[in-house]
């Protein structure tokens, strides 16, 4: 856990308030690596009497990202540098005005193996910065959403979906919403104190939904079996006719 930063020139109520929105989409596949797309939006509020000059990059932990782009919400593009463990966002000569705010967005994707034999396992660790641009970050408020796409190659998307089980270090609940062919799972908003981190783990199963879907599955299997039986009888009858006609 990181050391909490205290600035002698600022009061306990002065510093940066950080609002972080993370939207993570998982596109799973039985035949190749799974694709994880993420859009992270950071709003930094300056609760100090001075402007904050963004002379240092913002570092977002993101392992082995393949692409990374960043921009201000007002449209200005930002320079990004990605490496094995993180994405650096460089702001040029931008500042956060005194008692004002600045919002930027980072989009990236990476490949991973999270889906196997109908089960998806995903974990995420959040350890926020306690200091940004030599100014203490007093609050971190998080909004986190996961979107699980239908696995590639899977059928019956109207009757099948993700059953989601999640655990996290703060025991925060979440809400599932399904709109075929995807399922959205939104974690309840939460706040981290300085020096506090957050772990979340998802265990998801792509399966039939509800007793109606399961009943439909039984009917489909029975119908296919009956059709195969009838087809087998027809084939045998045809072979018998061909044999007796010789």
Indicate if 131 and 240 belong to the same structural domain.
no
Residue (of 220, 228, 147, 211) closest to 183 by Cα position:
147
Residue-wise pLDDT tens digits, 39-61: 999 999 999 999 999 999 999 99
Length of the chain: 246
- Whether 30 is covered by a domain: the verdict is yes
- Whether 1 is covered by a domain: the verdict is no
Given a cut of 50, is residue 74 above it in pLDDT?
A: yes
Residue-wise pLDDT tens digits, 123-172: 999 999 999 999 999 999 999 999 999 998 887 777 888 999 999 999 99
DSSP-assigned beta bridge partners for residue 80: 89
CA separation for the pair 208, 155 (Å, rounded): 11
In the prediction, which pLDDT does 13 show? 78
Indicate if 138 and 214 belong to the same structural domain.
no
Domain count, the chain: 2
In the prediction, which pLDDT does 107 show? 98
What are the structure tokens assigned to 244, written together?
């007796």
Question: Are the beta carbons of 126 and 21 closer than 8 angstroms?
Answer: no
- Whether 34 is covered by a domain: the verdict is yes
* Lowest-confidence pick of 57-71, 92-106, 153-167: 153-167
Residue-wise pLDDT tens digits, 175-225: 999 988 899 999 999 999 988 999 999 999 998 887 666 666 566 666 655
Indicate if 233 and 126 belong to the same structural domain.
no
Question: Are the beta carbons of 113 and 34 closer than 8 angstroms?
Answer: yes
- Whether 154 is covered by a domain: the verdict is yes
Indicate if 31 and 115 belong to the same structural domain.
yes
Helix residue ranges per DSSP H, the chain: 210-244
- Whether 234 is covered by a domain: the verdict is yes
- Whether 2 is covered by a domain: the verdict is no
* Residue 228 structural domain: 210-246
Indicate if 126 and 236 belong to the same structural domain.
no
Question: Are the beta carbons of 47 and 17 closer than 8 angstroms?
Answer: yes
Given a cut of 50, is residue 31 above it in pLDDT?
A: yes
Q: Which value, in Å, is the radius of gyration of the alpha carbons in the chain?
A: 26
Q: What is the 3-state secondary structure (H, E, C) of 14-57?
A: CEEEEEEEEEEEEECECCCCEEEEEEEEEEEEEECCCCEECCCC
Given a cut of 50, is residue 1 above it in pLDDT?
A: no
Indicate if 125 and 196 belong to the same structural domain.
yes
CATH for 123: 2.60.40
Indicate if 143 and 53 belong to the same structural domain.
yes
- Whether 6 is covered by a domain: the verdict is no
CA separation for the pair 151, 135 (Å, rounded): 44
Indicate if 131 and 231 belong to the same structural domain.
no
- Whether 5 is covered by a domain: the verdict is no
Indicate if 172 and 245 belong to the same structural domain.
no
């Amino acid at each position: 856990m990181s050391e909490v930063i205290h600035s002698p020139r600022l009061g306990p109520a002065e510093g940066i308030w950080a609002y972080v929105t993370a939207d993570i989409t998982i596109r799973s596949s039985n035949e190749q690596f799974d694709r994880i797309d993420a859009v992270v939006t950071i709003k930094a509020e300056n609760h100090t009497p001075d402007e904050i000059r963004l002379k240092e990059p913002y570092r977002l932990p993101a392992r082995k990202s393949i692409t990374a782009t960043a921009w201000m919400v007002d449209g200005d593009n930002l320079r990004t540098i990605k490496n094995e463990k993180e994405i650096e966002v460089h702001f040029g000569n931008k500042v956060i005005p005194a008692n004002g705010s600045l919002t930027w967005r980072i989009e990236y994707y990476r490949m991973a193996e999270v889906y196997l034999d109908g089960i998806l396992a995903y974990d995420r660790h959040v350890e926020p910065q306690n200091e940004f641009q030599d100014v203490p970050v007093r609050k971190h408020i998080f909004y986190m959403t996961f979107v699980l796409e239908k696995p590639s190659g899977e059928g019956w998307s109207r009757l099948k979906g993700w059953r989601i089980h999640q655990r996290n270090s703060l025991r925060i609940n979440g809400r599932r919403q399904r709109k075929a062919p995807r399922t959205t799972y939104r974690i309840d908003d939460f706040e981290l104190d300085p020096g506090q981190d957050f772990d979340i783990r998802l265990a998801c199963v792509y399966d039939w939904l509800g007793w109606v879907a399961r009943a439909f599955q039984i009917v489909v299997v029975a119908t296919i079996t009956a059709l195969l039986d009838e087809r087998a009888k027809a084939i045998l009858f045809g072979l018998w006719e061909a044999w007796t006609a010789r």
